[in-house]
């Protein structure tokens, strides 16, 4: 696939790229070790969440297994002032935006519909309706443009917006409308599509007849396909696209070509629709293993470093397990508090009904 | 010190224009967005001249995509703006339904008020103008049924002037329904008097035998019917709901208790319309005060008909008088 940007082969060998390698020229051995740490911790968090679902602690989990590099690459390319709009699978972006992993679990445990303050983290809440958030990202970027936070040359002021979505979402009207809007308004938004090849049970062929990144051309902005299992390439391409947006050159589509190694969610059974051989091929392109191979080959990491990261992952897993079980239960009375800016008199009556029924203690008076 | 401007006669479309102008003047975060609202001034000219005076950055002609209009408004609101979306006609709001119902309405709730939506969605609605299909609908019940949204509809130019400003100033998302067949009706607008609260109803006419309840386009119909009834010696009051979410229940329950006979009039379909909610609520709250069942005069439970038969489809004075007779016969 000659149109694929790749800086690190599945075997962990650096490959040159005239366009993009300059964007990661600063990534030294320490940075590579840091990226490796992110990938390992993120994967451990994700597998722990799957386990928590199996134990009945979560109602559902959407695993990101296989997509760690795409998300760490994009997430680490963001600046503090940038803002991202995730789907429900962007745990790696939340990780990079300093959301406590335990707080990501709340939505899936059923203790909250949110979990964090979007402004504080520069990360909107998870959006479950497919593609709706791409319009939110575009509108937010329109606001950024209006605020004059584009093209000033001030690295602490110029702001970009990242819209995340998957291959299935590219069929949605909202995503196509977002492309049109962003194009004609020339706003600082990067459309980051993780093409993980599957929309639940539907393969990519159900969504498109051409490579997704090439759709951008028709909308009037550039598109690029990057090896979504190569964290270095994802970092480089994301940095380039975000920089382009911040300087005022408009939107760009990044297609991170990757693979959903797990089920769509814990409720899904992929053995009904895809073959094991396909997974075998993608296992050879694993995003974590290639960084490990690179570090070991160059002598940039040793056994004690790897052991330290593993120990850190174990500690994270323990913290996530404990934290999940102690997430606060939602209070029935509080559910009425955030419907409107002020508590509605009708809602007061309905809220009091819960209290009245609770006071009966389940006893129906004779 | 300048004297307060004297009340002036103006049409509702003009009053809305003046209200939007004042909102744009008083808050730089207010933005108007919609199809053909810029240079053209909107298909009903409600935004006439605003793009020229406030710039195409603040009065934006958008691409032709309703979901995009509301979806990008969500993002603008998250960035701190107060977008006012114009949906060109009632029947075109459905492509934006997900963004309104699943995104705008729920954002405050799911974020615990850390992400709020001061978004207004203006929709010219209702029939009576001889329009083609999809240009005469009354979709209010969908939005009233959605927690998180506020829904209001002015019936007079003065209310239009104030209510659009109040909706824009509201920190809750507001679906703002403009009765398009009343756009050209004139009324007195006092731009210096203190406005009524946005979510309050208003008793427009006192009466002792029965009360007619309308909103938006049917308030005028109710007033005409009450006048006709008075010529037959019947004293009939009229309440303009003004706000459909929330409904001003204290006003309505008070009126029902006082008169015992209530007729609700709206253009929207009968089944599960606002009238159904009014009937249910009044039977819960003042059953023993009612002398007759709450009756409904509404559009029929069919799709909106071809325009040459809309006169028989829409509630008119005769249908309201007929319902009044029925109520008074109990």
Look at residue A365 in the predicted model and tell me its pLDDT.
Answer: 53
Biggest CA–CA distance in chain B, Å, is: 59
Q: Is B135 a catalytic residue?
A: yes
User: Chain A: which residues have CB within 8 Å of chain B?
Assistant: 85, 112-114, 117-119, 124-125, 127, 129, 132, 134-144, 146-147, 173-174, 177-178, 180-181, 184, 337-341, 344-346
Six-digit token pair at B131?
Answer: 């329009």
| pLDDT score recorded for residue A55 | 98
| Cβ contact, residue pair B81, A143, below 8 Å | yes
How many angstroms away from the CA of A82 is the closest CA of chain B?
12
Whether residue B297 lies within 8 A of chain A, CB to CB, comes out as no
Q: Are B170 and B150 in contact (CB under 8 A)?
A: yes
Question: B171 burial class (0-12, 13-18, 19+ CB within 10 angstroms)?
Answer: middle
pLDDT over threshold 70, residue A344? yes
Two tokens at A109? 């445990």
Query: What pLDDT is recorded for position A360?
Result: 87
Candidates A117, A132, A184; nearest CB to B99: A132
| Residue limits of CATH 3.40.50.920 in chain B | 202-328
Which pLDDT score is estimated for A332? 86
The b/e string for B307-316 (b: 16+ C-beta within 10 A; e otherwise) is beebeebbbb
Between A and B, how many CB-CB pairs are < 8 A? Answer: 130
| Chain B residues within an 8 Å CB radius of A127 | 103
pLDDT of residue B88: 98
A126 is catalytic: no
pLDDT band at B6 (very low <50, low <70, confident <90, very high): confident
Q: Do A339 and B147 touch (CB under 8 A)?
A: yes
Q: Which pLDDT tens digit goes with each residue over A166-207?
A: 999 999 999 999 999 999 999 999 999 999 999 999 999 999
Please determine, for residue A366, whether its predicted confidence score (pLDDT) is greater than 70. no
Radius of gyration over alpha carbons of chain B, in Å? 20
Task: Over range A105-114, report the average pLDDT.
Answer: 97
Q: Which tokens sit at A10?
A: 């599945």
Determine the average pLDDT of the residues in A110-116: 96
Contacts of B150 in chain A (CB under 8 A): 340
Q: Which residues, listed in sequence order, are joined to residue B9 by a DSSP beta bridge?
A: B188
Across A297-334, b (16+ Cβ under 10 Å) vs e yields: eeeebeeeebeebeeebeebbeebbeebeebeeeeeee
For B8-189, CATH number out of 3.40.50.970, 3.40.50.1970, 3.40.50.720, 3.40.50.300 equals 3.40.50.970
pTM: 0.97
Average pLDDT over residues A92-104: 98
Distance from CA of B83 to the nearest CA of A (A): 10
B288 within 8 A of B237, measured Cβ to Cβ: no
Amino acid A364: pLDDT: 55
- State the span(s) of chain B assigned CATH 3.40.50.970: 8-189
Q: What is the pLDDT of residue A122?
A: 98
Please say if the pLDDT value at position B2 is more than 80: no
Contact state of A181 with B108 under an 8 Å Cβ cutoff: no
The 10s digit of each residue's pLDDT in B119-155 is: 999 999 999 999 999 999 999 999 999 999 999 999 9
How far apart are the two ends of chain B, measured CA to CA in Å?
A: 59
Q: For position B240, what pLDDT does the model report? A: 98
CATH architecture of structural domain B202-328: 3-Layer(aba) Sandwich (3.40)
Share of chain B above pLDDT 70, in %: 99
Its ipTM equals 0.96
Using an 8 Å CB-CB cutoff, list chain A residues near B102.
129, 132
Residue A104 has pLDDT above 70, yes or no: yes
**How high does pLDDT run on average in chain B?**
97
The pLDDT score that the predictor gives to residue A362 is 63
The overall average pLDDT reported for chain A is 96
For residue range A28-83, what is the model confidence (pLDDT) as tens digits? 999 999 999 999 999 999 999 999 999 999 999 999 999 999 999 999 999 999 99
């Amino acid at each position: 696939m000659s149109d694929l940007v790749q800086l690190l082969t599945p075997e962990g060998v650096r490959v040159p790229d005239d366009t993009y390698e300059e964007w990661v020229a600063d990534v030294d051995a320490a940075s590579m070790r840091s990226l490796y740490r992110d990938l390992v911790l993120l994967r451990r968090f994700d597998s722990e969440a799957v386990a928590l679902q199996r134990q009945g602690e979560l109602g559902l989990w959407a695993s990101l297994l296989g997509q760690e590099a795409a998300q760490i690459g994009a997430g680490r390319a963001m600046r503090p002032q940038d803002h991202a709009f995730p789907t429900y699978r962007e745990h790696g972006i939340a990780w990079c935006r300093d959301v406590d992993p335990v707080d990501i679990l709340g939505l899936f445990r059923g203790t909250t519909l949110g979990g964090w303050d979007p402004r504080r983290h520069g990360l909107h809440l998870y959006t479950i309706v497919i593609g709706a958030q791409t319009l939110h990202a575009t509108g937010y970027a329109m606001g950024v443009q209006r605020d004059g936070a584009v093209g000033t040359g001030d690295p602490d002021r110029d702001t970009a917006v990242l819209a995340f979505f998957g291959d299935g979402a590219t069929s949605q009207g909202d995503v196509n409308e977002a492309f049109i809007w962003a194009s004609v308004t020339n706003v600082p938004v990067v459309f980051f599509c993780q093409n993980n090849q599957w929309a639940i049970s539907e393969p990519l062929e159900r969504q498109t007849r051409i490579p997704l990144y090439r759709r951008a051309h028709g909308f009037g902005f550039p598109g690029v396909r990057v090896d979504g299992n190569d964290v270095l390439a994802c970092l480089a391409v994301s940095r380039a696209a975000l920089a382009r947006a911040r300087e005022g050159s408009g939107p760009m589509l990044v297609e991170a070509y990757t693979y959903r190694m797990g089920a769509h969610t814990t409720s899904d059974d992929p053995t009904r629709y895809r073959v094991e051989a396909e997974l075998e091929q993608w296992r050879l392109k694993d995003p974590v293993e290639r960084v490990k191979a690179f570090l070991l080959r160059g002598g940039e990491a040793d056994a004690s470093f790897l052991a330290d990261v593993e120990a850190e992952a174990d500690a994270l897993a323990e913290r996530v397990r404990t934290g999940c079980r102690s997430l606060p239960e939602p209070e029935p009375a509080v559910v009425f508090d955030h419907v409107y800016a002020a508590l509605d008199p009708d809602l007061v009556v309905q809220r009091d009904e819960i209290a009245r029924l609770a006071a009966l203690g389940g006893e129906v008076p004779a | 010190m300048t004297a307060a401007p004297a009340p002036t006669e103006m049409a509702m479309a003009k009053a809305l224009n003046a209200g939007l102008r004042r909102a744009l003047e008083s808050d730089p975060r207010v933005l108007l967005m919609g199809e053909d609202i810029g240079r053209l001034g909107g298909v009903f000219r409600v935004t006439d001249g605003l793009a020229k005076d406030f710039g195409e950055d603040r009065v934006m002609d958008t691409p032709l995509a309703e979901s995009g209009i509301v979806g990008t408004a969500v993002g603008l609101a998250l960035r701190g703006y107060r977008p006012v979306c114009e949906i060109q006609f009632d029947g075109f709001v459905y492509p934006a339904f997900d963004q309104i119902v699943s995104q705008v309405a729920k954002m405050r709730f799911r974020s615990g008020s850390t992400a709020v939506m001061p978004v207004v969605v203006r929709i010219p609605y209702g029939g009576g103008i001889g329009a083609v299909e999809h240009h005469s609908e009354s979709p209010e019940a969908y939005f009233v049924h959605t927690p998180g949204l506020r829904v209001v509809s002015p019936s007079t130019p003065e209310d239009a002037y104030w209510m659009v400003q109040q909706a824009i100033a509201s920190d809750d998302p507001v679906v703002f329904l403009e009765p398009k067949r009343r756009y050209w009706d004139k009324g007195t607008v006092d731009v210096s008097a203190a406005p009524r609260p946005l979510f309050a109803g208003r008793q427009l006419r006192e009466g002792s035998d029965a009360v007619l309840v309308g909103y938006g386009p049917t308030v005028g119909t109710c007033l005409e019917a009450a006048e006709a009834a008075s010529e037959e010696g019947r004293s009939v009051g009229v309440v303009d709901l003004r706000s459909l979410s929330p409904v001003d229940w204290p006003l309505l329950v008070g009126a029902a208790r006082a008169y015992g006979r209530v007729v609700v009039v709206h253009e929207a379909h009968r089944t599960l319309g606002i009238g159904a909610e009014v009937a249910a609520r009044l039977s819960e709250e003042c059953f023993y005060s009612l002398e007759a069942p709450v009756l409904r005069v509404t559009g029929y439970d069919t799709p909106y008909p071809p325009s040459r038969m809309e006169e028989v489809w829409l509630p008119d004075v005769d249908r309201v008088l007929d319902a009044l007779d029925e109520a008074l016969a109990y």
